[in-house]
Structure 1
């Protein structure tokens, strides 16, 4: 019941539709219109831009709107954690389930756009990509959860667009449209984070090649880069609540 109420509240939020649906769909349509290459490369690029659109939607949902939503109710839940057995871990788990549902909804809308345009096909490659995108959505939702509990709502409200741009820098495949020293530098940084490997996995899926190595890198980067946020959650919030 609580999750249903949360979903209804989110779906009434104009900020949610702007950052998670309108911007990703516009990006997807815009980039598809720019592709002027041979057929095989176009198929790979179209899939990359589909992944980017999904990642943008996930970012808008998990980093921008989710962190603001958590921040708005953080005092209540922190107080509840002190006075009851409803821990912050429990709170985060409930919120992540809601986030999972929202991320699936966002991706379904983008997939519908791709199917209508004929740039996507319903196949195993798409299903594997959706599974990995949902895992990445959990990753960004944990980060958004920590941001929401550690930052003021007003600050998150003002930083919505900048946060989305910064988050996008970690997964937008610049090497598909530029080739210079900046791109090389950004790519090196991107390789530290799981979003980078979704593109090579997608390309390998299209080419029916092995994705084992990229999957390993994806999960290693996922685990290593999420640790600092879990530590922040533990030392600044959970430990503090426990001591009180």
Structure 2
């Protein structure tokens, strides 16, 4: 540890890139933030908040850092939650993607993380921006179904499996039974108020990590019916959302395969447009 680190006041670590910090709600989970340089502790400006949800590799800190340019351009606070693999099952990689796992409600953990950030910084906690890539996109679009009133905009990047806005198919192929499971109604009216982006590379066509096998704990009848590739599945999700009156934008990035960094420029442009709107 450097002399500067030994003597720095606590506030030194609460500006810019913050440390990964345990959740007060459940210390198995954690998160890190970025506080833009224009944040004034003595000021009264309320800053937008963007939540960035990692994929299966759990690269929360890297994802946070990749959006620092956006955070500075818009004086936006970033929050990147970290949901470790291996919770209750050393071989599990997917826990957070379906929102509920072994009695854990990942949506509620994230909502409390937002409250933690808002208790320390002046941020717009009522409606946040959210982006998720791959496994994070699975979480993000399911979060949209459960908590649309907490989102101003959501960017769904290349999910492996999708839950369709279909009240005739059981959760998590569709949304039937969602209210019984989560205590949250399927609020189409609130969903229509959220700006939605679907984004993917046009070469994201590998199937080895997309097809759900019959022996998987996540197998359900119909789970693979939305398409063979991520591109096909995202198009199916687009049609499903449009059928209930949600009008997502669909951005395809030429030459990009399953690469979260490769789709970030359209995400930043989408969020920039949302923040510039009245």
TM-score in terms of structure 1 length: 0.32
Which structure carries more relative contact order (alpha carbon 8 Å, separation 6+)?
1
TM-score by length of 2: 0.29
Judging by fraction of residues, say which structure has more strand.
2
